[in-house]
Chain A
Amino acid sequence: MAQVVLKNVRKVFDKTEVIHNINLEIPDNEFTVFVGPSGCGKSTLLRLIAGLEDITEGSLHIGNTDVTTIPPAKRGVSMVFQSYALYPHMTVYENIAFGLRCSQYSRNEIEKRVLQASEILQLNHLLDRQPKQLSGGQRQRVAIGRAIVRDPKVFLFDEPLSNLDASLRVKMRMQIAKLKHDLKTTMIYVTHDQVEAMTLADRIVVLNEGTIEQVGTPMELYHHPRNKFVASFIGSPKMNFVEAHIASLADGNVNLDLPHDKRITLPVSLSEGIVLEEKGNVEVGVRPEHVFVVQKEEEALFTGDVTIVENLGSETYAYVKIGWGQTILVRLQGESRIKVGDSLALSAAPKDCHLFDTKTGLSFERAPV
């Protein structure tokens, strides 16, 4: 039961700074997900919190204690590793009990806690097995069991599902969601999979190249990405970006020129000192699920020929070449009869369109949804 606070945290490895001045407050009992592409520093940040790496500069508080220089075992954290990291020579029971034995709990207390944890994770029938006799999902459950018996203040998960196959991953994701509900502890979860992030998180921290791009609830990030990076990272398939020229600006609206002489008017709040120049370039972002087909060409925002069709049964994805050398992806409901080479007229509601500065990638404030 504790909040985690990082203040001006930096991490330098052999003169390379991999974490740049991070300030982050993770509230008590929340499930926070660190997400980002590989090499963005999300795992390093988690290891800094765990104490497996030293913080070069800055401070870390767990609860009300400054734990910046305190060894991992005394921070009250426990961690689940991507590769499970079970002790191969010990049985499941011994694996789960190891941490408790190190902390010199009584035999009865250890047994009570191990049985309790194995109950939650349905490991009762496996307690005498060795890790090599277990499947991947079972191993990961043991690793989680090892973490929960210690009754930590903060749980750390380092890409716990990425070694599992797709169907098992979905199953384990549900188990973790259930665990989150049952344990009510602060949890920090690292993943590169934005689906895991969206489904599990109370709050998502999007990281890129050692800095925080944005912090927010999954829906905040989905509807109000702060910049192009977040916009393209959150949501699957990723957002379309279309180059556009500013034709004119008028009372909170911006009129944009799109390929094939199409026009769109988007509401934009210019409060935050953002300068939009006439004749300048911006990028319009629109998610594949917000693009729809219209019958009349004059109602369309984008027109073009279909180049690729991906039919998934429940939905169909079509790549449409819309001019200016750009392609956008459209999600169509159900099985579609669209074929490669077909000409499509597409549109999207202005409220579903995002506007990004071409140079900085920052997004312009949208009217609230």
Chain B
Amino acid sequence: MRSKFYTPFLYLLSALIIIVCVFPFYWAIVSSLKTGSDLFKVEFWPAHLTFSNFIEIFKEQPFGHNILNSVFVAVGTVSISLMLAITASYALGRVRFRGRSALLLSILSISMFPQVAILSGMFELIRTLGLYNNLLGLIFSYMTFTLPFTTWILTTFMKQLPKEIEEAAIIDGASTLTICTKIFLPLLWPALVTTGLLAFIAAWNEFLYALTLTVESQSRTIPVAIALMTGASEFELPWGKIMAASVVVTLPLIVLVLIFQRRIVSGLTAGAVKG
């Protein structure tokens, strides 16, 4: 027996959750469209719309360059970690060897280290490798957190692929590489999209390593560039521009998620129910 208040209550609750989730983003959009003292007025729709913030962030600093940096770093991180994770997960998921579960557990525990804990060591490592202030150094350091979870998730999916399919391919004369690329990859496609997207988001939003390992404004990625934005004087915090920049960099993520939405859902549920 459902009370007649059940459905309205459900809607009310959903509306509340949506407001809590979406309001900050809405506020950022609204703020990005305001300048000067308008910024500090509380209004839900600005009286004077202006796009000057959006123009200025690209004019006054190498923000376009920062975006390209971020794209390069995120795409690089995702592709290298997926490549390594696929091969690793094949071994961890399909091949029986001594110490397999110990290896899996250590991979999981590595991903639990707080970033700050490995920051100074990472800094020394990057300097020694000559990758300081280099985007490759960022890709390298980002893999410390993307690789564990991509490997772990893909291993889970890899384990669920029926053994007979692999055996059929073996009997058909397929090499291990062919099995991986022609049989497993197409079957793992939803899982790859899901993990790839998660890795992309993680790399796109990363701040601490990017701040520590880059020094010139030309080689910064977006989160650092936004954080280090300065106003006309040192006493002014350019809220409008910061918000404009945030909106600009969040849009690609939203577009990506919307494009792959169906894939993500099927990827997330593919693990839950056999079939």
Contacts and interface: CB of A to CB of B under 8 A. Distances in A.
Interface of A: 50-52, 71-74, 77-79, 81-89, 98-99, 102-103, 146, 150
A88 B171 CA distance: 17
8 contacts: A52-B170, A72-B170, A79-B167, A83-B162, A88-B165, A88-B187, A102-B173, A102-B175
B178 interface: yes
B60 interface: no
Interface in B162-198: 162, 164-165, 167-175, 178, 182-183, 186-187
Contacts of B172: 73, 78, 98-99, 102, 146, 150
A50 B171 contact: yes
Contacts of A83: 162, 164
Contacts of B167: 52, 79, 81, 85
A134 B186 CA distance: 20
Contact of A85 (B168, B178, B182): B168
A307 B162 CA distance: 47
A59 to B, nearest CB: 21
Contacts of B162: 83, 85
B164 A73 contact: no
Contact of A73 (B173, B183, B186): B173
Contact of B178 (A50, A84, A88, A102): A102
Interface in B138-172: 162, 164-165, 167-172
A72 B186 contact: no
Nearest to B164: A85
B164 A99 contact: no
Nearest to B186: A89
Contact of B171 (A73, A82, A84, A86): A73
Nearest to A74: B173
A103 B175 CA distance: 10
A71 B170 CA distance: 9
B183 A87 contact: yes
B233 to A, nearest CB: 60
Given A85-B162, A85-B165, A78 B186 contact: no
B230 to A, nearest CB: 53
Contacts of B174: 73, 98-99, 102
Given A88-B187, A102-B178, A79 B173 contact: no
A138 to B, nearest CB: 17
Given A85-B162, A85-B164, A88-B187, A79 B171 contact: yes
Contacts of B170: 52, 71-73
Interface string B34-72: 000000000000000000000000000000000000000
A78 B170 CA distance: 10
A99 B167 CA distance: 12
A85 B187 CA distance: 13
A281 B170 CA distance: 53
Contacts of A71: 170
B170 to A, nearest CB: 5
Given A102-B174, A103-B173, A79 B187 contact: no
Nearest to B175: A102
B187 A89 contact: yes
A71 B175 CA distance: 11
A317 to B, nearest CB: 38
B173 A146 contact: no
A29 to B, nearest CB: 21
A77 to B, nearest CB: 7
A338 B170 CA distance: 57
Interface in B224-247: none
Contacts of B168: 79, 81, 85-87, 146
Given A88-B187, A89-B186, A89-B187, A81 B173 contact: no
Contacts of A82: 164
B187 A77 contact: no
Nearest to B161: A88
Nearest to A132: B275
Contacts of B186: 89
Contacts of A72: 170-171, 173
Contacts of A87: 165, 168-169, 183
Nearest to B170: A72
Given A77-B171, A103-B173, 7 more contacts: A73-B172, A79-B167, A81-B167, A82-B164, A83-B162, A88-B187, A102-B173
B6 to A, nearest CB: 38
A72 B167 CA distance: 9
A98 B167 CA distance: 13
Interface string B210-228: 0000000000000000000
Contacts of A51: 171
Contacts of A99: 171-174
A52 B170 CA distance: 8
A98 B165 CA distance: 12
Contacts of B183: 87
A89 B178 CA distance: 15
> Which of B164, B165, B183 counts the most chain A CB atoms within 10 A?
B164
Nearest to B178: A102
Contact of A78 (B171, B178, B187): B171
A189 to B, nearest CB: 16
A102 B183 CA distance: 12
Contacts of A84: 164
Nearest to B172: A99
Nearest to B183: A87
Interface string B251-273: 00000000000000000000000
Nearest to A71: B170
> Which of B164, B172, B173, B174 counts the most chain A CB atoms within 10 A?
B172
B193 to A, nearest CB: 15
